[in-house]
Every structure is written in C-alpha cells, then in structure tokens.
Amino acid sequence: MSDRLPSELRAVEREIDTYHLADPLMREHFATAAWHFLAFCEERAIAQLIHVEQTATPHEEAIFPDVLLVHAKWPLNWISATCEPGGNIPRKYDEAMYEAAWIKPLVEEYL
C-alpha cells in the first residue's frame, strides 16, 4: 500500500510527533522529570482551587480534574518512554525544570 500523503505533510507529522523531545525534561532521568511535571500539576490544582473560590461556575469546578488528567496523559507517556529510568527525586527548586514542566494548553485554558 502506498502512502497517499505528500512527503511534506509526513515531514510535518514527524516534527509534531517528536516535538516533545526538545523539552529539557526529556533529557532527565524519569524520577526527576516526573517529579517536576507532577509538581506543575499540583500547582495548577492549587491555582484552580483558588480560582474556583473566586469566579468558577460549578461546571468549571467539576470539569477541572478531568482536564488535568487528560492533559497529563501525554506528557507522562513521553516522560516514561523517553527518559532514562531511575534518578533521584529533586530536593530543591530548579527553575529551568519547573519551566520545562508547564503544559501550555492547560495553563492557557484555565489561568
């Protein structure tokens, strides 16, 4: 079966499929990358709780856990598939790793 898509489109598809590899978290060991990503998720959850108390509707409040989990699936999959196993859980704040952990769709949609 031949590929009916133009090679240019396949190139764009490959670029999209490998874009996450440019994230600095992907060069860390699994424990370090996962910890920073989960710390980001924790901060988003806390920010959402503060937001809920101020302005969120009951529907926005109810949907947030699902949104967080949906947005977390792919980053955790990439971390699991790309990062070297092992590593140590960080004991101090690393701004570069914290910035690398931000999932922009979640941040832009809910903050």
Q: For the chain (length 111 residues), average pLDDT per consecutive 10? A: 85 89 93 93 82 73 83 91 95 89 59 43
Residue 52 lies in a domain: yes
Q: Of 15, 24, 13, 3, whose CA–CA distance to 100 is shortest? A: 24
Within a domain: 7:
no
Whats the size of the chain, residue-wise? 111
Q: According to the model, what pLDDT value does residue 111 have?
A: 43
State residue 108's pLDDT score: 53
* CA dist., res. 18 & res. 13, Å (int): 9
Contacts of residue 110, defined as CB under 8 A and 6 or more positions apart, other chains included, come to 44, 47, 48, 51, 64, 67
Tell me, yes or no, whether 9 lies in a domain.
no
Q: Is residue 86 part of a domain?
A: yes
* Rounded (10°) angle between helices 58-82 and 30-54: 170
The neighbouring-strand residues paired with 29 are: 84
Q: Is residue 13 part of a domain?
A: no
Structural domain includes residue 56: yes
Total structural domains within the chain? 1
Q: What is the pLDDT of residue 93?
A: 86
**pLDDT score for 11:** 93
Residue 82 lies in a domain: yes
**Structural domain of residue 43, as residue ranges?**
24-110
Distance CA 101, CA 68 (A): 14
In a domain, 18, yes or no: no
